[in-house]
Amino acid sequence: MRPLAAAALVTLLYALHQDVWFWREARPLVFGVLPVGLFYHAAYTVVTAVTLWALVGLIWPHHLDEPSARPDTE
């Protein structure tokens, strides 16, 4: 269930990157200087960080931690 939720989150975020709705718009200028398309992607980057924090909680590969000693080390 958790991998599915994680895959859904990543797919949603991947789709949101393709923001055709602000394609030809420069206004409003957010904070008076940032064109809305640039602001969207800056905000998208912050949302991505939050989503990655959630993903780390959802699908962290605990089983890989503390690997056993190397059986085939020379």
Binding site residues, another protein, CB under 8 A:
10, 13-14, 17-20, 22-27, 29, 32-35, 37-38, 41-42, 44-46, 48-49, 52-53, 55-56, 59-61, 63-65, 67-68, 70-74
Beta strands in the chain (DSSP E): 29-30, 34-35
Choice between 4 and 52, CB closer to another protein? 52
SS3 at position 69: coil
Q: How far is the CB of 59 from another protein (least distance, A)?
A: 7
Spatial distance between the Cα atoms of 18 and 16, rounded to a whole number of angstroms? 5
* Residue 37 near residue 29 (C-beta atoms within 8 A): no
Choice between 1 and 32, CB closer to another protein? 32
